[in-house]
Amino acid sequence: MIKVVTWNVNSINSRLERVKAFLERESPDFLCLQELKCSEDKYPLESITATGYHSAIFGQKAYNGVAILSKKPVEILFRNFDPDDDASRSITIRTPFGFDLINAYVPNGQAVGTEKYAYKLAWLKKAKKFVQQHWTPSDKLVFVGDFNIAPDDRDVYDPVAWKEHIHCSAGERTALNDLVSIGFIDSFRMHDQSSGVFSWWDYRELSFARNKGLRIDLIYATPLAAASCRSVRIDKDERRGDKPSDHAPVIATFDF
């Protein structure tokens, strides 16, 4: 079994001990991290290497940044979908298990109608074009990350209150569906159709305790890869305790 995890850690250096404990406890084959919030020279490479993991890193000072931690060495295929984008938002690797893996941190978008919102929609279009250029639906590809979009109302604690707000707007969902339509399956929904299961909770208003969250951390797979997906779960325990990230890890197990 191959375990693939996506987790927005909201600063790798602030949560290094949590990450190391997670690696020891869950022993994932691939841990895909978003929002490192550090340049590559500030990434805690020595500490991660001491756990037995290799790191494929694409950092950025203070903002963004993605990394894939793996038990075995991997080949980095691409950094970013658009070479002209100066934000470190995606890294793609070739795994030794017959599938490729994209780890992405989708732009937040700030608010509907802003320039950052337009950038988010354009970024998703570039993601679709990038995938179509390099893979076909018959390839084994897994695409994970913090998508900053709740795919449908089941993924929102209060769909009425969030209607047409950032993360839940029709424009974002249309852009995400357009990307997914080229041949991706939401691995979580293969196993769980229920509502009220979330991966992100605001730090404010006791949101976690009241389960006022969104499911925005997603693991997509092409049909051949999805056919090997045996389980998907969200580790809510990582949202508890001292100074957690506002995101919980999403853990998928594949029988590649």
Per-residue model confidence (pLDDT) at position 114: 98
CA distance 170 to 242: 36
| 146 among known catalytic residues | yes
What are the structural domain ranges in the chain? 2-254
State residue 95's pLDDT score: 98
The burial of 108, by beta-carbon neighbours within 10 Å (0-12 exposed, 13-18 middle, 19 or more buried), is given as middle
Annotated active-site residue in 29, 100, 146, 217: 146
Alpha carbon 137 to chain centroid, angstroms: 20
Q: What is the pLDDT along the chain (256 residues), one digit of tens a residue?
A: 999 999 999 999 999 999 999 999 999 999 999 999 999 999 999 999 999 999 999 999 999 999 999 999 999 999 999 989 999 999 999 999 999 999 999 999 999 999 999 999 999 999 999 999 999 999 999 999 999 999 999 999 999 999 999 999 999 999 999 999 999 999 999 999 999 999 999 999 999 999 999 999 999 999 999 999 999 999 999 999 999 999 999 999 999 9
Tokens representing residue 194 in the block: 């229920």
Comparing C-alpha atoms, which of 176, 246, 196, 230 is closest to residue 18?
A: 246
Q: Write down the pLDDT at residue 253.
A: 98
> What's the pLDDT score for residue 202?
97
Residue 225: the pLDDT is: 98
- Bridge partner residues of 79 (DSSP): 91
Distance CA 217, CA 230 (A): 18
Q: What is the model's pLDDT at position 147? A: 98
Query: Of 105, 117, 157, 220, which is the active-site residue?
Result: 105
- The class (CATH top level) of 2-254 is alpha beta
Count helices and strands (H / E) in the chain.
7, 14
Residue among 80, 250, 100, 106 nearest 175 (CA) = 106
For the question of residue 119 being annotated catalytic, the response is: no
